[in-house]
Amino acid sequence: MTGMPPAARILIVRLSALGDIVHALPVLAALRRQDPAVRVDWLVEQAYAPVLGLVEGVHRRVIVRAAAPARGSGPGREPPQGGAGGHAADVRFGGGLGYLRAAAFLRRQHYDAALDLQGLIKSAVWARLSGARRVIGFARSHLREPQAAWLYGETVVPPASPHVIQKNLSLATYLGASAAPVELPIAAPTDGAVARTIEAAIGPARYAVLNPGAAWPNKRWPPKRFGALAASLLHRHGLVSFVTWGPAERALAETIVSESNGAARLAPPTGIADLAALMGRAALVVSGDTGPLHIAAAMGAPIVGLYGPTWPERNGPWHPDDEVISRAERCQCHHKRQCLIGAPCINDISLGEVEEAVDRRLAKEPKAS
C-alpha cells in the first residue's frame, strides 16, 4: 500500500446512515485487495452497526452511542481480535463516559491512518481523537461541513465522477489501492425467519419487494400507486409483492396491501440481516432513495429507483442495468426532508412510467428455465 506500512492499521470513520455505510464498503474491499494483511476497524453508531455484521473484512466494529457495553469491552479490557467466520468483533461504548472511553480505546490501537468518509465536524473530531498517524478526509469544497477540513492532516480531491462510491474510493486510491473493481463485501444469511415466511407464503415462486417508506416524507411515492403497481406486477409479470416497513411505517405498508387487490403481502418485521435476505432473493425491488434500496443494490437485486429531492447520479443504484426515474432536475427542495411547496416532486412520477421502467429492467434479466 503506497505510503503505508505492510499490514497497516486503518480506522474508517463512517458513523451513519445505512445507505451511506453501504456506499463506503468498496473502500474496505479496495484496501484489503491492495494488502490482504491490512487491519481495518470501523467506527459506527449502534443504530447502524448491524449492517457491518454482514460484512467480511472488518477487523473490529468500534460502536459508539451503544445502549450498553459489550461483555469483555469495559474500561481497560481489550475486545476479541476479530470475529468468527471472518466477521467483525465488537467493542461498544455507551453512557455518559462512553465517548471518553471510546477515544481512549482508539488511541491505544496506534492506527497508521484514519479515513473520515462522512465529512462532518463530528466525524472529523473522531478521526482526530483516534490519534492516528495520518488523518485523511475530503477537500473542503467536497465536505457537507467545510469546517471539518481543519481537523485533517491530509485532504483529497475526489474525481469528477458524481457517484458517492467513487468519491469514497478516492481516499483508498490516495493510499495506493485500486478503485476497480467496485466490490461490496456483504453477504446475507440464507436462512432465518424471513426465508421461512416467504417459503410458507409463496413457496419457491419469484417475488418483488416494494419499499414505500423513507425517513424523509418527500422521498415517498404515494401508497395508492404502490398498491396499483403491485396489482400490475402480478398481472403483467406473475410477481407477488412483499411490502417492507420500518418503525412507524406498518400502517403505510398495510395501506398498500389493501390497495393491491390481493397482489401484495405485508413483509414480516425485518432487521438489517433479514432485509438483506429478503432483497437477495427478490426478482425486483422498487424503492425510493433510502437505506433498503442500497441494501438491495448491494445484494444484486434488480432495481427500479424512484427519486425526488435527491440526485440518482450521486446516490442511485450503480448497476448499469438498473432503472431510475427521477424528478431531481425540477425539484425545488433538494436534500430537504419536507417539501417546501406542498407537493413533493416524486408525486409527479406516474404509475405508467414505473410500469415501463419495470418492463425494461425485467427484460434485462436472464429468462427463468
- Nine-digit cell string for 157: 480531491
Full strand arrangement of the beta sheet holding 154-156: 89-94, 60-66, 39-45, 9-13, 113-116, 134-138, 154-156
Q: Which fold has domain 193-363?
A: Rossmann fold (3.40.50)
How, if at all, do strands 154-156 and 134-138 pair?
parallel
Fold match between 9-174 and 193-363?
yes
Residue-level pLDDT at 2: 66
Give burial (CB, 10 Å; 0-12/13-18/19+) of 368.
exposed
Per the CB < 8 A criterion, the answer to whether 211 and 306 are in contact is no
Per the CB < 8 A criterion, the answer to whether 71 and 89 are in contact is no
User: How large is the average pLDDT for residues 189-201?
Assistant: 77
For residue range 62-103, list pLDDT tens digits in order.
999 998 665 444 433 444 444 433 455 799 999 889 999 999
For 153-190, letters b (16+ CB in 10 Å) and e give eebbebeeeebbbbbbbbbbbbbebebeeeebbbbbee
Q: Which helix (H) or strand (E) holds 78?
A: none
Give me the residue spans of the domains in the chain.
Answer: 9-174, 193-363
Residue-level pLDDT at 75: 39
Helices (H), the chain: 18-34, 49-52, 98-108, 121-129, 164-174, 193-202, 223-237, 250-258, 272-281, 291-298, 312-315, 351-363
Residue-level pLDDT at 146: 97
Average pLDDT, the chain: 90
For residue range 154-184, list pLDDT tens digits in order.
999 999 878 999 999 999 999 999 999 999 9
Cβ contacts of 233 within 8 Å, gap of 6 or more: 208, 239, 241, 263, 284, 358
Percent of the chain exceeding pLDDT 70 equals 93
CA 72-75-78 angle, 5° bins: 50
Task: Classify 304 as helix, strand or coil.
Answer: strand
| 339 DSSP 8-state letter | -
User: How large is the average pLDDT for residues 36-55?
Assistant: 96
Whose cell is 474500561? That residue is: 75
Residue 324 burial (CB count, 10 A): 17
**Greatest Cα pair distance in the chain:** 61
Alpha carbons 45 and 14: distance in angstroms, whole number: 9
Q: Which helix (H) or strand (E) holds 285?
A: strand 284-288
pLDDT at 340 over 80: no
User: How large is the average pLDDT for residues 126-142?
Assistant: 98
Residue-level pLDDT at 184: 92
CATH architecture of 9-174: 3-Layer(aba) Sandwich (3.40)
